[in-house]
Structure 1
Amino acid sequence: MRALLMKDFLMLSKQIKMMVAIFAVLIIISFITNMTMVLVIFSLIFASLQLTTAFTFDEMSKWDKYANTLPVDRKTIVQSKYVLGLILIASGIVIFTPVVFLSDEMTRQLPFIDIFQTIVIVLSIALFYISLTIPLFIKFGTQKARFIIFAIVFLPVFGSGFIQYGLRTVGLNQLMSYIKYVPIAAFVFLLLSYFVSVKWYERKEF
Protein backbone atom coordinates (compact mmCIF):
# COMPACT_ATOMS: atom_id res chain seq x y z
CA MET A 1 0.00 0.00 0.00
CA ARG A 2 2.90 2.32 0.71
CA ALA A 3 3.90 2.32 -2.97
CA LEU A 4 0.33 3.14 -4.02
CA LEU A 5 0.19 6.07 -1.60
CA MET A 6 3.58 7.33 -2.76
CA LYS A 7 2.31 7.26 -6.34
CA ASP A 8 -0.75 9.34 -5.38
CA PHE A 9 1.28 11.87 -3.41
CA LEU A 10 3.77 12.23 -6.27
CA MET A 11 0.90 12.95 -8.66
CA LEU A 12 -0.59 15.44 -6.20
CA SER A 13 2.74 17.10 -5.40
CA LYS A 14 2.08 20.10 -7.64
CA GLN A 15 -1.42 20.46 -6.18
CA ILE A 16 -0.03 20.23 -2.64
CA LYS A 17 2.54 22.96 -3.34
CA MET A 18 -0.23 25.20 -4.62
CA MET A 19 -2.36 24.31 -1.58
CA VAL A 20 0.45 25.27 0.81
CA ALA A 21 0.88 28.62 -0.95
CA ILE A 22 -2.88 29.33 -0.82
CA PHE A 23 -3.10 28.35 2.84
CA ALA A 24 -0.12 30.56 3.74
CA VAL A 25 -2.01 33.54 2.31
CA LEU A 26 -5.25 32.45 4.00
CA ILE A 27 -3.56 32.13 7.39
CA ILE A 28 -2.40 35.74 7.16
CA ILE A 29 -5.85 36.90 6.02
CA SER A 30 -7.60 34.87 8.75
CA PHE A 31 -5.54 36.52 11.48
CA ILE A 32 -6.28 39.96 10.05
CA THR A 33 -10.02 39.34 9.66
CA ASN A 34 -10.48 36.99 12.67
CA MET A 35 -12.07 34.34 10.41
CA THR A 36 -9.85 31.35 11.20
CA MET A 37 -12.80 28.91 11.31
CA VAL A 38 -13.34 29.62 7.62
CA LEU A 39 -9.74 28.52 7.11
CA VAL A 40 -10.37 25.10 8.70
CA ILE A 41 -13.54 24.60 6.65
CA PHE A 42 -11.76 25.55 3.44
CA SER A 43 -8.75 23.36 4.23
CA LEU A 44 -10.90 20.26 4.78
CA ILE A 45 -12.95 20.90 1.66
CA PHE A 46 -9.81 21.46 -0.40
CA ALA A 47 -8.16 18.35 1.06
CA SER A 48 -11.21 16.25 0.20
CA LEU A 49 -11.20 17.58 -3.36
CA GLN A 50 -7.62 16.37 -3.82
CA LEU A 51 -9.00 12.84 -3.67
CA THR A 52 -11.07 13.68 -6.74
CA THR A 53 -7.90 14.88 -8.45
CA ALA A 54 -6.15 11.60 -7.63
CA PHE A 55 -8.97 9.59 -9.19
CA THR A 56 -8.96 11.84 -12.26
CA PHE A 57 -5.22 11.33 -12.77
CA ASP A 58 -5.66 7.56 -12.44
CA GLU A 59 -8.47 7.55 -14.98
CA MET A 60 -6.58 9.69 -17.50
CA SER A 61 -3.44 7.54 -17.27
CA LYS A 62 -5.35 4.21 -17.30
CA TRP A 63 -3.65 3.43 -13.99
CA ASP A 64 -6.12 0.74 -12.88
CA LYS A 65 -5.37 -1.45 -15.89
CA TYR A 66 -1.69 -1.37 -14.97
CA ALA A 67 -2.30 -1.73 -11.23
CA ASN A 68 -4.26 -4.91 -11.77
CA THR A 69 -1.25 -6.52 -13.43
CA LEU A 70 0.82 -5.96 -10.27
CA PRO A 71 1.03 -8.42 -7.35
CA VAL A 72 -1.42 -6.29 -5.35
CA ASP A 73 -4.95 -7.41 -4.61
CA ARG A 74 -7.86 -5.17 -5.47
CA LYS A 75 -8.85 -4.65 -1.86
CA THR A 76 -5.47 -3.04 -1.17
CA ILE A 77 -5.93 -0.66 -4.11
CA VAL A 78 -9.28 0.47 -2.68
CA GLN A 79 -7.81 0.76 0.82
CA SER A 80 -5.09 3.06 -0.49
CA LYS A 81 -7.71 5.57 -1.69
CA TYR A 82 -9.43 5.66 1.68
CA VAL A 83 -6.11 6.01 3.49
CA LEU A 84 -5.16 8.82 1.10
CA GLY A 85 -8.42 10.64 1.83
CA LEU A 86 -7.98 10.22 5.59
CA ILE A 87 -4.36 11.43 5.45
CA LEU A 88 -5.35 14.54 3.49
CA ILE A 89 -8.17 15.37 5.91
CA ALA A 90 -6.02 14.64 8.98
CA SER A 91 -3.28 16.89 7.57
CA GLY A 92 -5.75 19.76 7.28
CA ILE A 93 -6.87 19.23 10.88
CA VAL A 94 -3.35 18.87 12.33
CA ILE A 95 -1.97 21.90 10.49
CA PHE A 96 -4.79 24.39 10.91
CA THR A 97 -6.53 23.55 14.18
CA PRO A 98 -3.64 25.06 16.22
CA VAL A 99 -3.96 28.19 14.09
CA VAL A 100 -7.64 28.45 15.00
CA PHE A 101 -7.01 28.07 18.74
CA LEU A 102 -4.10 30.52 18.64
CA SER A 103 -6.23 33.08 16.84
CA ASP A 104 -9.08 32.56 19.30
CA GLU A 105 -6.71 33.05 22.25
CA MET A 106 -5.73 36.38 20.73
CA THR A 107 -9.23 37.58 19.85
CA ARG A 108 -11.45 35.75 22.38
CA GLN A 109 -14.13 35.33 19.73
CA LEU A 110 -15.67 31.92 20.49
CA PRO A 111 -15.76 29.57 23.48
CA PHE A 112 -13.48 26.53 23.23
CA ILE A 113 -16.41 24.11 23.07
CA ASP A 114 -17.97 25.95 20.10
CA ILE A 115 -14.71 25.83 18.17
CA PHE A 116 -14.25 22.15 18.94
CA GLN A 117 -17.82 21.26 17.91
CA THR A 118 -17.48 23.17 14.66
CA ILE A 119 -14.23 21.39 13.78
CA VAL A 120 -15.78 17.99 14.58
CA ILE A 121 -18.83 18.72 12.40
CA VAL A 122 -16.71 19.95 9.48
CA LEU A 123 -14.48 16.86 9.86
CA SER A 124 -17.58 14.65 9.78
CA ILE A 125 -18.80 16.35 6.61
CA ALA A 126 -15.40 15.72 5.00
CA LEU A 127 -15.67 12.03 5.93
CA PHE A 128 -19.17 11.89 4.46
CA TYR A 129 -17.79 13.43 1.28
CA ILE A 130 -15.02 10.87 0.73
CA SER A 131 -17.40 8.07 1.74
CA LEU A 132 -19.76 9.19 -1.00
CA THR A 133 -17.25 9.96 -3.73
CA ILE A 134 -14.94 6.94 -3.61
CA PRO A 135 -17.56 4.26 -4.39
CA LEU A 136 -19.17 6.49 -7.03
CA PHE A 137 -15.83 7.11 -8.73
CA ILE A 138 -15.13 3.38 -8.73
CA LYS A 139 -18.55 2.47 -10.08
CA PHE A 140 -19.17 5.23 -12.64
CA GLY A 141 -15.84 6.95 -13.26
CA THR A 142 -15.06 10.55 -12.41
CA GLN A 143 -17.06 12.23 -15.18
CA LYS A 144 -20.41 10.55 -14.51
CA ALA A 145 -19.86 10.48 -10.75
CA ARG A 146 -19.44 14.26 -10.61
CA PHE A 147 -22.95 14.77 -11.99
CA ILE A 148 -24.35 12.29 -9.48
CA ILE A 149 -22.51 13.95 -6.60
CA PHE A 150 -23.68 17.37 -7.77
CA ALA A 151 -27.28 16.15 -7.74
CA ILE A 152 -26.91 14.56 -4.29
CA VAL A 153 -25.22 17.59 -2.74
CA PHE A 154 -27.48 20.26 -4.23
CA LEU A 155 -30.76 18.40 -4.05
CA PRO A 156 -31.31 19.62 -0.47
CA VAL A 157 -30.84 23.19 -1.69
CA PHE A 158 -33.72 22.82 -4.13
CA GLY A 159 -35.70 21.13 -1.40
CA SER A 160 -35.12 23.96 1.07
CA GLY A 161 -38.86 24.35 1.57
CA PHE A 162 -39.03 20.82 2.96
CA ILE A 163 -36.01 21.52 5.16
CA GLN A 164 -37.64 24.62 6.60
CA TYR A 165 -40.83 22.66 7.22
CA GLY A 166 -38.80 19.96 8.98
CA LEU A 167 -37.06 22.52 11.17
CA ARG A 168 -40.41 24.00 12.20
CA THR A 169 -41.84 20.55 12.90
CA VAL A 170 -38.92 19.05 14.79
CA GLY A 171 -37.61 22.25 16.30
CA LEU A 172 -34.10 23.67 15.89
CA ASN A 173 -33.09 22.98 19.50
CA GLN A 174 -34.14 19.35 19.25
CA LEU A 175 -32.32 19.03 15.95
CA MET A 176 -29.13 20.46 17.45
CA SER A 177 -29.28 17.83 20.20
CA TYR A 178 -28.60 15.19 17.53
CA ILE A 179 -25.44 16.93 16.30
CA LYS A 180 -23.31 14.89 18.68
CA TYR A 181 -24.24 11.75 16.74
CA VAL A 182 -22.95 13.15 13.43
CA PRO A 183 -19.33 11.92 13.91
CA ILE A 184 -20.60 8.42 14.75
CA ALA A 185 -22.81 8.44 11.66
CA ALA A 186 -19.86 9.63 9.55
CA PHE A 187 -17.67 6.78 10.83
CA VAL A 188 -20.37 4.15 10.18
CA PHE A 189 -21.00 5.59 6.71
CA LEU A 190 -17.25 5.44 6.01
CA LEU A 191 -17.12 1.73 6.91
CA LEU A 192 -20.16 0.92 4.77
CA SER A 193 -18.67 2.94 1.92
CA TYR A 194 -15.44 0.95 2.14
CA PHE A 195 -17.17 -2.43 1.88
CA VAL A 196 -19.30 -1.22 -1.05
CA SER A 197 -16.20 0.14 -2.82
CA VAL A 198 -14.30 -3.12 -2.39
CA LYS A 199 -17.25 -5.12 -3.72
CA TRP A 200 -17.68 -2.85 -6.76
CA TYR A 201 -13.95 -2.70 -7.53
CA GLU A 202 -13.53 -6.47 -7.32
CA ARG A 203 -16.35 -6.90 -9.83
CA LYS A 204 -15.10 -4.18 -12.19
CA GLU A 205 -13.64 -5.07 -15.59
CA PHE A 206 -10.58 -3.16 -16.78
Structure 2
Amino acid sequence: MKGLILKDLITLKSYGKSLLLIFALFLFLGLSSGSPLSGAMMVMPISIMAAYVTFSYDKLSNWDCYACTMPMKRSEIVIARYFVTIILSLLFFAASLLSYLFTAVIMQNFSEVYLLIPSYSVLFGLIMILISLILVLNYKFGPDKARIALILIFILPSIFTALITQSNVPMPVISESTIMLFCTIMPILGIAALLLSYLMAAKIYQHKEF
Protein backbone atom coordinates (compact mmCIF):
# COMPACT_ATOMS: atom_id res chain seq x y z
CA MET A 1 0.00 0.00 0.00
CA LYS A 2 2.92 2.34 0.67
CA GLY A 3 3.92 1.95 -2.97
CA LEU A 4 0.41 2.91 -4.11
CA ILE A 5 0.39 6.00 -1.90
CA LEU A 6 3.88 6.95 -3.11
CA LYS A 7 2.79 6.49 -6.72
CA ASP A 8 -0.07 8.97 -6.31
CA LEU A 9 2.09 11.46 -4.44
CA ILE A 10 4.75 11.32 -7.17
CA THR A 11 2.04 11.73 -9.82
CA LEU A 12 0.78 14.78 -7.94
CA LYS A 13 4.22 16.24 -7.24
CA SER A 14 3.14 19.32 -9.19
CA TYR A 15 0.64 19.94 -6.40
CA GLY A 16 3.48 19.75 -3.90
CA LYS A 17 5.42 22.32 -5.91
CA SER A 18 2.29 24.47 -6.00
CA LEU A 19 1.90 24.58 -2.21
CA LEU A 20 3.85 27.85 -2.05
CA LEU A 21 1.64 29.27 -4.81
CA ILE A 22 -1.47 28.09 -2.96
CA PHE A 23 -0.13 29.65 0.23
CA ALA A 24 0.46 32.92 -1.65
CA LEU A 25 -3.11 32.77 -3.01
CA PHE A 26 -4.52 32.34 0.49
CA LEU A 27 -2.35 35.23 1.67
CA PHE A 28 -3.41 37.53 -1.20
CA LEU A 29 -7.11 36.81 -0.71
CA GLY A 30 -6.85 37.43 3.01
CA LEU A 31 -5.04 40.74 2.52
CA SER A 32 -7.27 41.98 -0.29
CA SER A 33 -10.50 41.13 1.55
CA GLY A 34 -9.37 42.67 4.83
CA SER A 35 -10.20 39.41 6.62
CA PRO A 36 -7.34 36.96 7.37
CA LEU A 37 -9.81 34.10 7.73
CA SER A 38 -11.54 34.60 4.37
CA GLY A 39 -8.41 33.72 2.40
CA ALA A 40 -7.87 30.61 4.49
CA MET A 41 -11.36 29.37 3.54
CA MET A 42 -10.12 28.72 -0.01
CA VAL A 43 -8.78 25.41 1.28
CA MET A 44 -12.18 23.90 0.47
CA PRO A 45 -12.26 24.10 -3.36
CA ILE A 46 -8.55 23.28 -3.63
CA SER A 47 -8.92 20.12 -1.52
CA ILE A 48 -11.93 19.01 -3.55
CA MET A 49 -10.05 19.54 -6.83
CA ALA A 50 -7.14 17.44 -5.52
CA ALA A 51 -9.55 14.56 -4.83
CA TYR A 52 -10.68 14.65 -8.45
CA VAL A 53 -7.46 15.22 -10.36
CA THR A 54 -5.82 11.89 -9.36
CA PHE A 55 -8.51 10.01 -11.29
CA SER A 56 -7.85 12.06 -14.41
CA TYR A 57 -4.16 11.12 -14.31
CA ASP A 58 -5.06 7.45 -13.84
CA LYS A 59 -7.40 7.46 -16.82
CA LEU A 60 -4.78 9.03 -19.09
CA SER A 61 -2.24 6.34 -18.17
CA ASN A 62 -4.71 3.40 -18.04
CA TRP A 63 -3.49 2.81 -14.51
CA ASP A 64 -6.46 0.68 -13.38
CA CYS A 65 -5.89 -1.93 -16.10
CA TYR A 66 -2.31 -2.33 -14.92
CA ALA A 67 -3.08 -2.14 -11.19
CA CYS A 68 -5.62 -4.95 -11.35
CA THR A 69 -2.96 -7.33 -12.74
CA MET A 70 -0.75 -6.86 -9.68
CA PRO A 71 -0.87 -9.25 -6.67
CA MET A 72 -2.85 -6.97 -4.38
CA LYS A 73 -6.44 -6.63 -3.30
CA ARG A 74 -8.57 -4.10 -5.09
CA SER A 75 -9.64 -2.75 -1.70
CA GLU A 76 -5.98 -1.82 -1.07
CA ILE A 77 -5.91 0.21 -4.30
CA VAL A 78 -9.02 2.08 -3.17
CA ILE A 79 -7.92 2.76 0.40
CA ALA A 80 -4.54 4.03 -0.85
CA ARG A 81 -6.37 6.65 -2.93
CA TYR A 82 -8.35 7.70 0.15
CA PHE A 83 -5.16 8.05 2.19
CA VAL A 84 -3.56 10.19 -0.53
CA THR A 85 -6.61 12.44 -0.67
CA ILE A 86 -6.58 12.91 3.11
CA ILE A 87 -2.83 13.63 3.12
CA LEU A 88 -3.27 16.32 0.44
CA SER A 89 -6.20 17.87 2.32
CA LEU A 90 -4.13 18.06 5.51
CA LEU A 91 -1.29 19.73 3.59
CA PHE A 92 -3.71 22.31 2.22
CA PHE A 93 -5.11 22.86 5.71
CA ALA A 94 -1.57 23.52 6.97
CA ALA A 95 -0.99 26.03 4.14
CA SER A 96 -4.32 27.64 4.95
CA LEU A 97 -3.51 27.96 8.65
CA LEU A 98 -0.07 29.44 7.92
CA SER A 99 -1.61 31.93 5.53
CA TYR A 100 -4.07 33.01 8.22
CA LEU A 101 -1.28 33.54 10.74
CA PHE A 102 0.87 35.48 8.26
CA THR A 103 -2.07 37.63 7.15
CA ALA A 104 -3.13 38.31 10.73
CA VAL A 105 0.43 39.37 11.66
CA ILE A 106 0.82 41.60 8.59
CA MET A 107 -2.56 43.26 9.15
CA GLN A 108 -2.26 43.23 12.94
CA ASN A 109 -5.77 41.81 12.94
CA PHE A 110 -6.45 38.95 15.36
CA SER A 111 -10.14 39.72 15.81
CA GLU A 112 -11.13 36.46 14.08
CA VAL A 113 -8.86 34.15 16.03
CA TYR A 114 -11.75 32.91 18.18
CA LEU A 115 -13.46 31.73 14.96
CA LEU A 116 -10.47 29.66 13.85
CA ILE A 117 -11.27 26.34 15.54
CA PRO A 118 -15.06 26.43 14.84
CA SER A 119 -14.47 27.45 11.22
CA TYR A 120 -11.88 24.76 10.59
CA SER A 121 -14.07 22.15 12.30
CA VAL A 122 -16.96 22.92 9.95
CA LEU A 123 -14.61 23.16 6.95
CA PHE A 124 -13.04 19.80 7.75
CA GLY A 125 -16.45 18.15 7.98
CA LEU A 126 -17.71 19.71 4.76
CA ILE A 127 -14.54 18.88 2.85
CA MET A 128 -14.60 15.25 3.99
CA ILE A 129 -18.28 14.91 3.01
CA LEU A 130 -17.73 16.45 -0.44
CA ILE A 131 -14.53 14.46 -1.00
CA SER A 132 -16.44 11.29 -0.07
CA LEU A 133 -19.02 12.10 -2.74
CA ILE A 134 -16.42 12.94 -5.39
CA LEU A 135 -14.43 9.73 -4.77
CA VAL A 136 -17.48 7.45 -5.00
CA LEU A 137 -18.72 9.17 -8.16
CA ASN A 138 -15.29 8.80 -9.77
CA TYR A 139 -15.16 5.09 -9.00
CA LYS A 140 -18.73 4.61 -10.22
CA PHE A 141 -18.82 6.76 -13.35
CA GLY A 142 -15.22 7.75 -14.08
CA PRO A 143 -13.64 11.23 -14.05
CA ASP A 144 -15.44 12.53 -17.16
CA LYS A 145 -18.97 12.08 -15.80
CA ALA A 146 -17.90 12.91 -12.23
CA ARG A 147 -16.71 16.29 -13.52
CA ILE A 148 -20.37 17.33 -13.78
CA ALA A 149 -20.85 16.72 -10.05
CA LEU A 150 -17.65 18.66 -9.36
CA ILE A 151 -18.97 21.66 -11.30
CA LEU A 152 -22.32 21.50 -9.51
CA ILE A 153 -20.57 21.43 -6.12
CA PHE A 154 -18.99 24.79 -6.95
CA ILE A 155 -21.95 26.39 -8.73
CA LEU A 156 -25.03 25.35 -6.71
CA PRO A 157 -23.96 26.93 -3.38
CA SER A 158 -23.30 30.24 -5.18
CA ILE A 159 -26.71 30.15 -6.86
CA PHE A 160 -28.43 29.23 -3.59
CA THR A 161 -26.67 32.04 -1.72
CA ALA A 162 -27.58 34.57 -4.43
CA LEU A 163 -31.25 33.51 -4.35
CA ILE A 164 -31.41 33.78 -0.57
CA THR A 165 -29.77 37.20 -0.67
CA GLN A 166 -32.13 38.57 -3.34
CA SER A 167 -35.25 37.15 -1.72
CA ASN A 168 -34.63 39.14 1.47
CA VAL A 169 -35.79 36.17 3.54
CA PRO A 170 -35.04 36.86 7.23
CA MET A 171 -32.38 34.51 8.57
CA PRO A 172 -33.35 32.47 11.63
CA VAL A 173 -31.68 33.32 14.91
CA ILE A 174 -29.39 30.46 15.97
CA SER A 175 -28.18 30.20 19.53
CA GLU A 176 -24.47 30.00 20.35
CA SER A 177 -24.90 26.53 21.89
CA THR A 178 -26.48 25.26 18.65
CA ILE A 179 -23.60 26.68 16.60
CA MET A 180 -21.01 25.05 18.88
CA LEU A 181 -22.88 21.73 18.68
CA PHE A 182 -22.86 21.99 14.89
CA CYS A 183 -19.12 22.70 14.90
CA THR A 184 -18.54 19.63 17.07
CA ILE A 185 -20.72 17.32 15.00
CA MET A 186 -19.39 18.29 11.55
CA PRO A 187 -15.95 16.59 11.85
CA ILE A 188 -17.67 13.42 13.10
CA LEU A 189 -20.09 13.49 10.16
CA GLY A 190 -17.16 14.06 7.80
CA ILE A 191 -15.25 11.03 9.09
CA ALA A 192 -18.41 8.88 9.01
CA ALA A 193 -19.08 9.97 5.41
CA LEU A 194 -15.50 9.10 4.46
CA LEU A 195 -15.76 5.60 5.95
CA LEU A 196 -19.10 4.97 4.24
CA SER A 197 -17.68 6.32 1.00
CA TYR A 198 -14.72 3.93 1.21
CA LEU A 199 -16.99 0.91 1.73
CA MET A 200 -19.10 1.91 -1.28
CA ALA A 201 -16.08 2.66 -3.47
CA ALA A 202 -14.35 -0.62 -2.55
CA LYS A 203 -17.49 -2.57 -3.47
CA ILE A 204 -17.84 -0.70 -6.78
CA TYR A 205 -14.17 -1.18 -7.66
CA GLN A 206 -14.28 -4.87 -6.70
CA HIS A 207 -16.85 -5.61 -9.41
CA LYS A 208 -15.64 -3.13 -12.01
CA GLU A 209 -14.21 -4.32 -15.31
CA PHE A 210 -11.42 -2.48 -17.12
How far residue 125 of structure 1 moved from its aligned partner, in angstroms, is 1.8
Q: Which residue of 1 aligns with 2:19?
A: 20
Identity %: 24
Separation (CA, whole Å) in 2 of partners of 1:24 and 1:178: 30
Letter in 2 for 1:20: L
Separation (CA, whole Å) in 2 of partners of 1:11 and 1:69: 20
CA spacing shift, 1:161–1:93, aligned 2, 3 Å: closer
Kindly indicate whether the alpha-carbon contact (under 8 Å) linking 1:135 and 1:196 is maintained by their aligned counterparts in 2: yes
**Number of residue-to-residue matches in the alignment:** 203
How far residue 60 of structure 1 moved from its aligned partner, in angstroms, is 1.3
Question: 1:12-51 alignment to 2 at 5 Å?
Answer: 12-17=12-17, 19-26=18-25, 29=28, 32-33=31-32, 34-51=34-51
How far residue 102 of structure 1 moved from its aligned partner, in angstroms, is 5.0
Matched, 1:194 2:190: no
TM-score, structure 1 as length reference: 0.82
Runs (5+) with no aligned partner, structure 2:
none
Separation (CA, whole Å) in 2 of partners of 1:182 and 1:21: 29
Q: Which residue of 1 aligns with 2:117?
A: 116
How far residue 133 of structure 1 moved from its aligned partner, in angstroms, is 0.5
Kindly indicate whether the alpha-carbon contact (under 8 Å) linking 1:74 and 1:202 is maintained by their aligned counterparts in 2: yes
Q: Which residue of 2 aligns with 1:127?
A: 128
Letter in 2 for 1:127: M
Q: Which residue of 2 aligns with 1:57?
A: 57
Q: Which residue of 2 aligns with 1:179?
A: 182
Letter in 2 for 1:41: M
Letter in 1 for 2:130: Y
Q: Which residue of 1 aligns with 2:149?
A: 148
Kindly indicate whether the alpha-carbon contact (under 8 Å) linking 2:129 and 2:190 is maintained by their aligned counterparts in 1: yes
CA-to-aligned-CA distance 1:152-183 (integer Å, 9 cap, x gap): 66445556699789x859x2415746522222
Q: Which residue of 2 aligns with 1:70?
A: 70
CA spacing shift, 1:141–1:78, aligned 2, 3 Å: same
How far residue 146 of structure 1 moved from its aligned partner, in angstroms, is 1.4
How far residue 52 of structure 1 moved from its aligned partner, in angstroms, is 1.2
CA-to-aligned-CA distance 1:11-63 (integer Å, 9 cap, x gap): 1112332x224235336535744543233222342133122111100011110
Letter in 2 for 1:147: I
